[in-house]
Amino acid sequence: MVCTYCQESHGLAGADAADEITLGRYLPAIPLVDGTRCEVACRGMSLPGETVIRYERARKEYGDGTVAVEGLDLDVHAHELLALVGPSGCGKSTTLRMANRLVELTSGRLLVEGADVADADPVALRRRMGYVIQNVGLFPHRTVEQNVATVPRLLGWSRERIRSRVVDLLELVGLAPDTYARRYPHQLSGGERQRVGVARALAVDPPVLLMDEPFGAVDPVGRRRLQAQFGRIRSELGTTVMLVTHDVDEAVRLGDRIAVFSRGGHLEQLADPVSLLARPATPMVADFVGQGAAVRLLGLGRLERADVGAPAGPAASGASTGTSDGSWQGGPVRLGDPLDEVLGALATSPAGAVHVQDDAGAVVGSVTADALLRALHRMADSAPAGSPAPAQPAVGSLRP
Ligand SMILES: Nc1ncnc2c1ncn2[C@@H]1O[C@H](COP(=O)(O)OP(=O)(O)OP(=O)(O)O)[C@@H](O)[C@H]1O
């Protein structure tokens, strides 16, 4: 079978090809009228950069007259993770839930893969979109295995196929199947329940995943681990994700783009994380991401050779940390290390500088706090053109 979009042949033929399609790797609810897009390069029906979900003047007024979202225009691109952030009550969840018709638009349009959701069967629509919420909503009287198998069973998959899919998914989210498959939700920690929620949402490999505070109930350390794991899973699967979160750090860590909302579902800024942190478009955004924006930016940057100064102090011997006088005990760090780790090493160096090594372990120079400032400004200056001018430059106050 040759993919009609990328023209690659992926060796699928006859029954295998049909099986791949029914596996849900192609959007099962969309007839393959214009041929089939391959899973490898053209997952689902959308190529990277194409619009998967489009809000056009979307408006939601609830029955009591509350206007949660007013005239929202927003595109979600294939394969991206778009994080929605903003103060409580600004319309993030309403926006998310419009996409799978848990909330119906009052006016405007919402298109998924170019088709108006108002014309879609809500049940079929929801099977194509995984949905993960804070308290997961697992079925309490069903085991982990049965919970994860919910949609595959509805789709009539065979028992063996369901079993093997469940095992794959539990391994994917880091829950050993032998230990967890037969447990009930009340026998799991909060973090384990959230993992099951993610596994269940991924069960039929949906091209779109809607997540509303998915890691909200997990402690900060577990949350960080889950975020890292989820980031890895997502890049493996290429799923398009809309993620609602209160946590700007989570948005910055996971998001390809971040949408900052203010009250009434008003879109204040839509930008990649570096642009958002370095060039907040409005005072509201600056205020929202402001505290700690520079430190968050550091977490997104890597130490480059241009940041490194001449070796100073006892460098020649500096393949290891520290010397007898203790003056170089921070570090060493390596080229390519995240800048927040470099900051951590600097913080523990009484000399105010740490040695930098290349991949082979040779000392190539040293860095100081000034180098970090230069790196911050390099990142801010390289934020893609087109970001609105800064209302209040996040790193401006750090200029030497
Ligand atoms: N069913 C409802 N009936 C009436 N008003 C509602 C309903 N659901 C939400 N709202 C209101 O709509 C507005 C937006 O709510 P929404 O839940 O979308 O915001 P949010 O940004 O997700 O909030 P949070 O961050 O607190 O979860 C709020 O003023 C909320 O009170």
Q: Which atom of ligand 1 has the smallest separation from the CA of 67? A: 12
CA of 148 to the centre of ligand 1 (A): 29
Q: For atom 7 of ligand 1, which residue has the closest CA?
A: 62
Nearest CA to ligand 1 atom 30: 89
For ligand 1, atom 23: residue with the closest CA: 89
Question: How remote is the CA of residue 62 from the centroid of ligand 1, in Å?
Answer: 9
Rounded to the nearest angstrom, the distance between the alpha carbon of 186 and the centre of ligand 1 is: 29
Confirm whether 329 is domain-assigned.
Answer: yes
Centre of ligand 1 from the C-alpha of residue 200, in Å: 26
| Ligand 1 centroid to residue 393 C-alpha, Å | 31
Residue 200: which of 181, 186, 219 has the closest Cα? 181
Ligand 1: list residues with CB < 6 Å. Answer: 62, 64, 66, 68, 86, 88-94, 246
Is there a single domain that holds both residue 257 and residue 340? Answer: no
Q: Mapping DSSP to helix (H, G, I), strand (E, B) and coil, where does residue 275 land?
A: helix
Mutation probe of ligand 1 site: the residue of 59, 67, 92 with most atoms within 8 A of C-beta: 92
Q: CA-based angle 182:184:186, to the nearest 5?
A: 150
CA 261 – ligand 1 centroid, Å: 13
Same domain for 113 and 58: yes
Cα of 91 to ligand 1 centre, how many Å? 6
Instruction: Give CA–CA dist 241/27, Å, rounded.
Output: 15
Same domain for 100 and 221, yes or no, is yes
In a domain? residue 283: no
Domain end call among 271, 298, 330: 271
Asked if residue 278 is part of any domain, the answer here is no
What is the domain extent for residue 180?
Answer: 51-271
Please tell me whether residues 311 and 388 are part of one structural domain.
yes
How many angstroms does the Cα of residue 68 sit away from the middle of ligand 1? Answer: 6
189 lies in the same domain as 312: no
Residue 80 included in any domain: yes
Which among 61, 64, 72, 90 is the best mutation to test ligand 1's pocket, defined by most ligand atoms within 8 Å of the CB?
Answer: 90
Contact 39, 10 (CB under 8 A): yes
Q: Are 20 and 39 in contact (CB under 8 A)?
A: yes
In ligand 1, which atom is closest to the CA atom of 66? 5
Verify that 186 and 59 share a domain, yes or no. yes
User: pTM of the predicted model, to two decimals?
Assistant: 0.75
Does residue 279 lie within any of the structural domains? no
CA-nearest residue, atom 4 of ligand 1:
62
Domain-embedded: residue 284: no
| 259 shares a domain with 126 | yes
* Token output for 198: 């993610």
Q: Is the ipTM of this complex over 0.90?
A: yes
Asked whether residue 314 is domain-assigned, the answer is yes
Cβ proximity of 127 and 204 under 8 Å:
yes
Q: Is 131 within the bounds of a domain?
A: yes
What CATH code is carried by the domain that includes residue 100? 3.40.50.300
Per-residue model confidence as pLDDT tens for the chain (400 residues): 444 444 444 444 333 443 333 333 333 323 333 344 444 334 444 556 678 899 999 999 999 999 999 999 999 998 899 999 999 999 999 999 999 899 999 999 999 888 899 988 888 787 778 888 876 678 889 999 999 998 888 777 888 888 988 998 898 888 899 999 999 999 998 888 888 988 888 887 788 899 998 887 677 777 787 788 788 778 777 788 999 998 888 898 889 999 999 998 899 999 988 888 888 889 999 888 876 777 777 888 888 888 888 776 554 444 344 444 444 545 688 988 888 888 888 888 877 888 888 888 888 888 888 888 888 877 777 766 444 433 333 443 333 3
Counting the structural domains of the chain, the total is: 3
Distance from the alpha carbon of residue 88 to the mean position of ligand 1, in angstroms:
8
User: Do both 293 and 249 map to the same domain?
Assistant: no
**Residues 59 and 25 reside in one and the same domain:** no
Whether 119 and 200 have beta carbons less than 8 Å apart is answered as no
Burial class for 177, CB neighbours closer than 10 Å (0-12, 13-18, 19+): middle
The one-letter code for the residue type at 43 is: R
The amino acid at residue 289 is: V
Note whether 242 and 384 are same-domain residues: no
Please tell me whether residues 260 and 368 are part of one structural domain: no
Identify the three-state secondary structure at position 276. Answer: helix
Are 76 and 225 in the same domain?
A: yes
